């Protein structure tokens, strides 16, 4: 039996370090399911693994796309499963890691053969977004599917556009679409979740934002401002700095907003992860040793 070890947890909790340590220990490779880290132009603001970290273990789906590329969760599911087949042809275990819950779930459980984006729907939704703002999309999704709205990353227009498009195409809520029977996987998944007290998570997020700023996040945002309309850039860390660069906010306030919105994102991740099945929880301050102990029992 081939096994996928999927590492879940909030932003900034230490998933990257644990994934690398486990990959080295198990002599295997890492598949990223962090949809923000796909984009090579956004390395600092998405906490993409450093060159040194990437050199420690083989990574897939990290900085492999441009912000100009269209890439759907359905395409990712196909690509990730193919990559896992490649890994499993030589190894019994693979590691998956990332903070994008829907992408993780697509690989582990499947996406119900959801239809590809409808061009007419996309045009309508983009018009709503451009003319009435993100709030209009949020209100629309909340009316159409309050259950999915409760867990979706509400600041990510890509998620909102996709869900509304599917609802319009199928006549069913996105929640109903996601609950349809899925094709069985030819591997077993072991989910390892890293947990920490909420105050620790928030403290780590605040510190990580400060480090991002020291590492050049503002300069990265300046270099991307001409592309600010790209969906990939409608995300925490960039939207706030664009408002600073527009002269709307001062820098200290923008940085505090990044921290606040990152904490809100972590809270949504916690809600999502609590609903996942069969998560084996380990402590943030001893995650590697606890994971090894757990895997020694599960892998035999």
Handedness of CA 149, 135, 123, 234 (dihedral sign): negative
Does the annotation place 13 within a ligand binding site?
yes
Please, are residues 233 and 40 in contact by the beta-carbon 8 Å criterion? no
Does the annotation place 15 within a ligand binding site?
yes
How far apart (Å, rounded) are the C-alpha atoms in residues 18 and 53?
11
Does the annotation place 7 within a ligand binding site?
no
Long-range contacts for 77-84 (Cβ within 8 Å, ≥24 apart)? 77/106, 77/107, 77/110, 77/111, 80/31, 80/33, 80/106, 80/107, 81/107, 83/31, 84/4, 84/31, 84/187
Does the annotation place 239 within a ligand binding site?
no
Does the annotation place 9 within a ligand binding site?
yes
The single residue listed with the structure tokens 């999309």 is 137
Does the annotation place 16 within a ligand binding site?
yes
Does the annotation place 189 within a ligand binding site?
no
Please, are residues 116 and 42 in contact by the beta-carbon 8 Å criterion? no
Does the annotation place 14 within a ligand binding site?
yes
Binding residues for substrate: 11-16
Residue ranges of the annotated binding site for ATP are 9-16
**Binding-site annotation, residues:** 9-16
């Amino acid at each position: 039996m081939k096994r996928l070890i999927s590492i879940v947890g909030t932003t900034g909790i230490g998933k990257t370090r644990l994934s690398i340590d486990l990959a080295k220990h198990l002599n295997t490779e890492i598949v990223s399911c962090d949809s923000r880290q796909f984009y090579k132009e956004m390395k600092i603001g998405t906490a993409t693994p450093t060159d040194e970290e990437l050199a420690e273990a083989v990574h897939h789906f990290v900085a492999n796309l441009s912000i100009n590329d269209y890439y759907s969760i359905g395409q990712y599911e196909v690509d990730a499963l193919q990559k896992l087949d490649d890994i499993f042809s030589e190894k019994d275990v693979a590691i998956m890691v990332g903070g994008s819950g829907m992408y993780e779930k697509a690989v582990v459980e499947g996406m119900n053969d959801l239809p590809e984006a409808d061009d007419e729907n996309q045009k309508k939704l983009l018009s709503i977004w451009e003319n009435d703002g993100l709030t209009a999309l949020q209100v629309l999704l909340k009316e159409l599917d309050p259950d999915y709205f409760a867990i979706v990353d509400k600041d990510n227009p890509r998620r909102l556009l996709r869900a509304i498009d599917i609802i319009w195409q199928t006549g069913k809520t996105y929640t109903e679409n996601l609950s349809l029977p899925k094709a069985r996987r030819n591997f077993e998944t072991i989910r390892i979740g890293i947990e920490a007290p909420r105050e620790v998570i928030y403290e780590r997020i605040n510190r990580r934002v400060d480090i991002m700023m020291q590492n050049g996040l503002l300069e990265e945002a300046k270099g991307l401002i001409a592309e600010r309309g790209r969906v990939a850039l409608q995300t925490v860390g960039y939207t706030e700095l664009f408002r600073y660069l527009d002269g709307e906010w001062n820098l200290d306030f923008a940085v505090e907003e990044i921290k606040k919105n990152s904490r809100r994102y972590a809270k949504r991740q916690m809600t999502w992860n609590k609903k996942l099945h069969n998560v084996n929880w380990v402590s943030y301050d001893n995650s590697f040793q606890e994971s090894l102990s757990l895997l020694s029992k599960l892998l035999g």
